[in-house]
Amino acid sequence: MTASVKRLSVKNLSYRLGQRTLLDNISFDLKAGECVALLGANGAGKSTLLKLLLRLIAPASGHIELAGMPLSTLKRREIARHIAYVPQHHHPHFPFTAWQVVMQGRLPVNGMVRSPSPQDISRVELAFEENGIAHLSARIYTDLSGGERQRVLITRALVQDTPVILLDEPVNGLDYGHQLHLLMQLKTLAAKGYTLLMITHQPEHALMAASRALVLHESRLIADGAPSEVVDSALISRIYQTQVQQIDLNSGHRVFIP
């Protein structure tokens, strides 16, 4: 996998709800090896954009290509072989264990087989170990804490073994240590050639983990570039309507102080 491989291509994408334009003429490409932070105030349209990329909803106009193919022509299973999704919330209707929830990530890989293959079982076992959640595997998913559930959903996305992973506020509910661990994990996955698109409300996380930042504001994509060039006090003031002081440390890190 090389960094020039285009995984997702979005051209002149617009989405409307009734009279309201939620996304207006958005264009960008996502390539192999990129970890992209998607920023924007509440209601800016970030989750809507992810839903369009997953074809859960259809655009008013514009075009999306996944691995060079028009998204609109792909079967759902083909999309699931290319894109995994970590939602903000997941509400199973049955008392599944964490193991069963993660195993659902293998469905697009093996189809509707009745029972998991030995390869599925070893893939899931490894993922539970690697993500430090082996102790949760037999627990009922809905009994878990918010942060524990989030770690299960991230593990489910990883066992899907897709080149693209979309994450809707993935650090939500995670404690400080697990937030940093996840951000470093995403960076490592990008270095291995995965394409990651993560919604975040924390500008520092874009600076820490992402190779690129996309910013939605008033229905439009107002910035697309290296986080160090895009995410600064002027952007924060513009999109969040709040003043912060920006401090650039000698180490190359940037912090914001209210």
Ligand X SMILES: Nc1ncnc2c1ncn2[C@@H]1O[C@H](COP(=O)(O)OP(=O)(O)OP(=O)(O)O)[C@@H](O)[C@H]1O
Give contact residues for ligand X (rule: CB under 6 A): 17, 22, 40, 42-48
Distance CA 210, CA 49 (A): 18
| Shortest Cβ 211–ligand X spacing (Å) | 21
| Shortest Cβ 8–ligand X spacing (Å) | 17
| Residue found by looking up tokens 């524990």 in the block | 148
Toward ligand X, which CB reaches closer, 218 or 229?
A: 218
Toward ligand X, which CB reaches closer, 46 or 151?
A: 46
| Shortest Cβ 85–ligand X spacing (Å) | 14
Toward ligand X, which CB reaches closer, 97 or 202?
A: 202
Toward ligand X, which CB reaches closer, 45 or 227?
A: 45
Toward ligand X, which CB reaches closer, 5 or 22?
A: 22
As given in the structure block, the two tokens for residue 97 are 């264990």
Toward ligand X, which CB reaches closer, 181 or 220?
A: 220
Distances from the Cα of 122 to the Cα of 103, 125, 127, 146, 147, angstroms: 11, 5, 9, 26, 24
Task: Determine contact, residues 102/127, Cβ cutoff 8 Å.
Answer: yes
| Residue found by looking up tokens 């520092």 in the block | 204
Helices (H), ranges, 27-165? 46-53, 76-82, 98-103, 107-110, 118-130, 146-159
| Shortest Cβ 49–ligand X spacing (Å) | 7
Toward ligand X, which CB reaches closer, 22 or 121?
A: 22
Q: Give the Cβ contact number of residue 74 at 10 Å.
A: 18
Distance CA 222, CA 65 (A): 22
| Shortest Cβ 41–ligand X spacing (Å) | 7
Using CA atoms of 125, 130, 133, 138 in order, give the dihedral in degrees to the nearest 10.
0
| Shortest Cβ 199–ligand X spacing (Å) | 7
- DSSP annotation of 95 reads -
Q: Give the Cβ contact number of residue 31 at 10 Å.
A: 19
Distance CA 109, CA 126 (A): 16
| Shortest Cβ 50–ligand X spacing (Å) | 8
